């Protein structure tokens, strides 16, 4: 159960999950390094072009997701342009019902809202009004004004806070001790130089 699936699709917002993926793969984890394998998942295995212009070839199609430790859903213009990415939202609902964590940021939260995932779970997004525009959304009472929110196995984030989103992912995956996780956050969110020493000390351990 060590595969972390990262969805990739046309118009994907590269920067929203960059902190998370870089440190899942390369961070000095307090458990064994390389504990998780990052697998890219697309609608098919045809190459896609991200919003930043990077060309990415998915490792597997959405129908082949198995033994998932987590599914990460970045934002994309496509989430707001129709239901082409709905298979990712359906898979997210299936995984959550099976007790597998799902992390969604920005436009991906709209897809989960339409799928009914937020009707019973605490969540955040770009703004409450953004989700209220989504047909099928019934979770307004569970909306939380925060940069990133974890409710059980569901992690959601606002588009302007990739560091906060990554912190919630790392905590859920138990990548770091709480002290090291806080130091990581202080360094990347607030450029706190003193936090760097804590991180360096942990990597030498």
Catalytic residues: 106
What is the Cα–Cα distance from 66 to 59, expressed in whole angstroms? 13
Residue 192, CA atoms < 13 Å, CB-side half-sphere: 13
Torsions phi, psi for 5 (to 5 deg):
-90, 125
What is the Cα–Cα distance from 45 to 130, expressed in whole angstroms? 31
H runs (alpha helix) in 54-192: 86-97, 107-114, 128-132, 162-173, 178-190
């Amino acid at each position: 159960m060590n595969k972390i699936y990262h969805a990739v699709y046309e118009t994907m917002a590269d920067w929203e999950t960059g902190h998370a993926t870089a440190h899942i793969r390369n961070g000095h984890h307090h458990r064994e390094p390389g504990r998780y394998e990052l697998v890219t998942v697309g609608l098919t295995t045809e190459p896609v072009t991200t919003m930043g212009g990077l060309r990415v070839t998915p490792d597997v199609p959405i129908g082949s997701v198995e033994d998932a430790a987590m599914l990460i859903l970045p934002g994309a213009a496509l989430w707001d342009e129709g239901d082409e990415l709905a298979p990712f939202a359906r898979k997210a609902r299936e995984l959550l019902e099976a007790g597998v964590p799902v992390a969604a940021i920005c436009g991906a939260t709209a897809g989960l809202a339409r799928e009914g995932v937020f009707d019973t779970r605490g969540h955040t997004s770009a703004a409450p009004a953004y989700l209220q525009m989504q047909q099928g959304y019934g979770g307004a009472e569970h909306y939380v004004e925060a940069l990133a929110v974890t409710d059980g196995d569901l992690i959601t984030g606002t588009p302007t806070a990739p560091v906060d989103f990554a912190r919630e992912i790392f905590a859920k995956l138990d990548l770091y001790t709480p002290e090291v996780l806080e130091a990581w956050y202080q360094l990347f969110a607030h450029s706190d130089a003193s936090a760097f020493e804590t991180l360096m000390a942990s990597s030498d351990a």
